Amino acid sequence: MADKTILVVGTYDTKDDELAFLAGVIRDQGGKVVTMDVSVLGEPSKPTDYSKHDVAQEGGGTIQAAIDSGDENHAMQIMAKGASLLAVRLYTEGVFDGVIILGGTMGTDLALDVASALPLGVPKYIVSTVSFSPLIPAERLAADTQMILWAGGLYGLNSVCKASLSQAAGAVLGAARAVQMPDPDKPLIGMMSLGTSALKYVIPLKPALEARGFEVAVFHATGMGGRAFESLAAQGAFACVMDFCTQELGNHIHGSNISAGADRLTNAGATATPQIVAPGCYDLVDVVGWKPLDAKWSEHMKHEHNRLLTSIVLQAPEVKEVARAHSAQLATAKGPVALILPELGLGEWDREGADLHNPDGLVAFLAELEKTLPETVQAHRIASHINDAAFADKALEIFDAWCDDGTVRR
């Protein structure tokens, strides 16, 4: 068990004691430690394995340039660039197995860049005074970042912050020992969905795709799931995507906090990854269920999914805006895009007779899509509901044709 090494990153000029404590707990548990200093002005009490000068140089800068900038934000961005590049190089060289980064807002800003630069599966823990804060936008989070709130950690060691730091040390070392890295030799399908109460195509599609030799990763379209999906798509991790729940795009357009970011529905296209898309739950905007409902939604149908989440049903003029956004995002794709448009509904709650049936919205949405869709997108209208067998059959028909002609690589 002593063969796992953790990279401990932080500003050793101001958080020397805390970082030393963190490293000590890792060593006490049988792990090894390498240290990286990302401070600018001060010096650590003893040398780190990778100094602040090493970090700045890796990014093509110098500590003096960071100091001379006279701007703490600019200086930390110099260090963030260098730390990200250095961490990737060291991981590639086999120097460490997992990383833990400590910080307040400055250190967290840098930590998010470092975590995003490292591959999926590398244990990456951020211990921060602003963990889970709305200060951190979804698009800054790598797909598998773990965050731990650094309680009582603003200045100096105490029993409260030691409780957080010791758990974090054990977590990252345990993760490094237990992680099963993704299999790079097995082609991966990225699929978006909500729970199977709303969207049911996962049930037939996952085993069908696995029988064809593909692995399937299904992401939950609740903001963070879409962010993880987009992060991996940007890395070219998928052989093909089946993006069948684009509801987070409507969330973003209509101001919900449950957003996957402005680049939702673009990253697979940016890497030329083949995309089969369907606008599942296009007419729902999810909002935080425990907050007072914004007055603009007072005349809308709604569904209280649980105490955390409420879904608002968009009206015809609003879904037209969502349709135009789909067209705009898909127009940027550098690879093939097939868009399946079920004419009988795009969510279980939208079936005829169901509580959120929205026929006017569906007609308006499909008409606006047809009017604005770029010629590069292959549109497939089908006379079924998204949860009918015909939808899954159509998706497999397109997928199999793409496998046969080499569009999807096995």
What does the pLDDT average to over 174-197? 92
- 270, 234 Cβ separation under 8 angstroms: yes
pLDDT at 219: 95
Residue 2 has pLDDT above 70, yes or no: no
- 339, 273 Cβ separation under 8 angstroms: no
Angle at 10 between CA 148 and CA 225, to 5 degrees: 40
Which pTM value belongs to this model? Answer: 0.86
The pLDDT-based confidence of 134 (bands split at 50, 70, 90) is: confident
Where residue 345 falls (left for φ over 0; alpha for ψ -120 to 50; beta otherwise) is: left
What does the pLDDT average to over 292-304? 93
pLDDT at 138: 75
What does the pLDDT average to over 270-280? 98
> Which residue in the block uniquely carries the two structure tokens 């914004």?
294
Beta strands in 227-376 (DSSP E): 240-243, 275-277, 284-288, 302-304, 309-313, 337-342
Structural domain boundaries in the chain:
5-178, 188-404
What does the pLDDT average to over 99-110? 96
The pLDDT-based confidence of 182 (bands split at 50, 70, 90) is: confident
What does the pLDDT average to over 116-122? 93
Domain 5-178 in this protein, CATH class: alpha beta
pLDDT at 224: 86
Cα–Cα distance, 239 to 214 (Å, whole number): 9
- 244, 281 Cβ separation under 8 angstroms: no
- 345, 299 Cβ separation under 8 angstroms: no
What does the pLDDT average to over 230-258? 94
Average pLDDT score, the chain: 94
Contacts 24+ apart (CB under 8 A), 210-213: 212/400, 212/403, 213/186, 213/187, 213/410
Cα–Cα distance, 45 to 53 (Å, whole number): 16
Q: What is the pLDDT of residues 47-96, one digit of tens each?
A: 999 999 999 999 999 999 999 988 899 999 999 999 999 999 999 999 99
Domain 188-404 in this protein, CATH class: alpha beta
Residue 18 has pLDDT above 90, yes or no: yes
The pLDDT-based confidence of 196 (bands split at 50, 70, 90) is: confident
What does the pLDDT average to over 129-134? 89
pLDDT at 107: 94
Residue 192 has pLDDT above 60, yes or no: yes
Identical fold for domains 5-178 and 188-404, yes or no, is yes
- The contacts of residue 410 (CB under 8 Å, 6+ apart) are 187, 213, 214, 239, 403
> Which residue in the block uniquely carries the two structure tokens 């401990």?
8
Residue 101 vs residues 38, 39, 168: alpha-carbon distances, Å: 10, 13, 10
Please report, in angstroms and rounded to a whole number, the separation of the first and last CA atoms in the chain: 36
What does the pLDDT average to over 173-188? 92
What does the pLDDT average to over 135-153? 87
Q: What is the pLDDT of residues 28-54, one digit of tens each?
A: 999 999 999 999 999 999 999 999 999
Q: What is the pLDDT of residues 311-344, one digit of tens each?
A: 999 999 999 999 999 999 999 999 999 999 999 9
> Which residue in the block uniquely carries the two structure tokens 């002593």?
2
Task: Print burial letters for 59-92: b (CB count within 10 Å at least 16), e (below 16).
Answer: bebebeebeeeeeeeebbbbbbbbbbbbbbebbe
